[in-house]
Amino acid sequence: MHILERTTLIKAPRTDVFAFFEDPNNLKRITPGWMNLTIDCIDDLPVRSDFRIEYHIKWLSVVRMNWVTLIKDYEPPRFFADEQVKGPYKYWRHVHAFEEVEGGTQMRDRVQYELPFGPLGTITHKLLVQRQIKSIFDHRNRQIRKIFAIQARSLPA
């Protein structure tokens, strides 16, 4: 099992940050373009436990991968967790946690994942996937900071 953890300070109230992340339509805004993310189907809003999102990506811009996730744990505005039901991983669970702190909201991501294919999956992880996941979350954090910085500037004085 592999784990990626990230903490990001977002200069916005927790309710605003949580609302942004629980909206599946914002997923494309924070996903790198090279993943070619397309949302195919989402359950009717509002988000809740067992909320389903179906989408696909193009890995290495060539291989289409269908991905289905369910929101398994949902406690607004504290946290939610999505788990892969169908997709490229043997196991995938992403916990998004939000805590009010001085200066805004501290967002914590914790992704637990495992690749299929045993030893071949281990080699693929070391050669490619580990670096790609870090790159995805680096991009995501940059985009989040930009989005909330722009929103903060556009608020009336």
Q: What is the pLDDT of residues 63-88, one digit of tens each?
A: 889 999 999 999 999 999 999 999 99
Bridge partners of 69, per DSSP, are 53, 84
Q: If you average pLDDT over residues 106-132, what whole number do you get?
A: 92
Q: Which tens digits make up the pLDDT trace of 46-59?
A: 999 999 999 999 87
pLDDT band at 150 (very low <50, low <70, confident <90, very high): low
Q: Which residue has the tokens 């629980």?
A: 22
Amino acid (one-letter) located at 59: W
Q: How far apart are CA 70 and CA 133, in angstroms?
A: 20
Is there a contact between 94 and 125 (Cβ–Cβ < 8 Å)?
no
Could you tell me the pTM of the whole model? 0.89
Is there a contact between 72 and 85 (Cβ–Cβ < 8 Å)?
no
Q: What is the pLDDT of residue 141?
A: 92
Q: Which residue has the tokens 């556009």?
A: 154
Q: Which residue has the tokens 């300070």?
A: 9
CB-based burial, 110-147: b 16+ in 10 Å, e otherwise: bbbbebeeeeeeeeebeeebeeeeeebbebbbeebeeb
Q: How far apart are CA 71 and CA 74, in angstroms?
A: 7
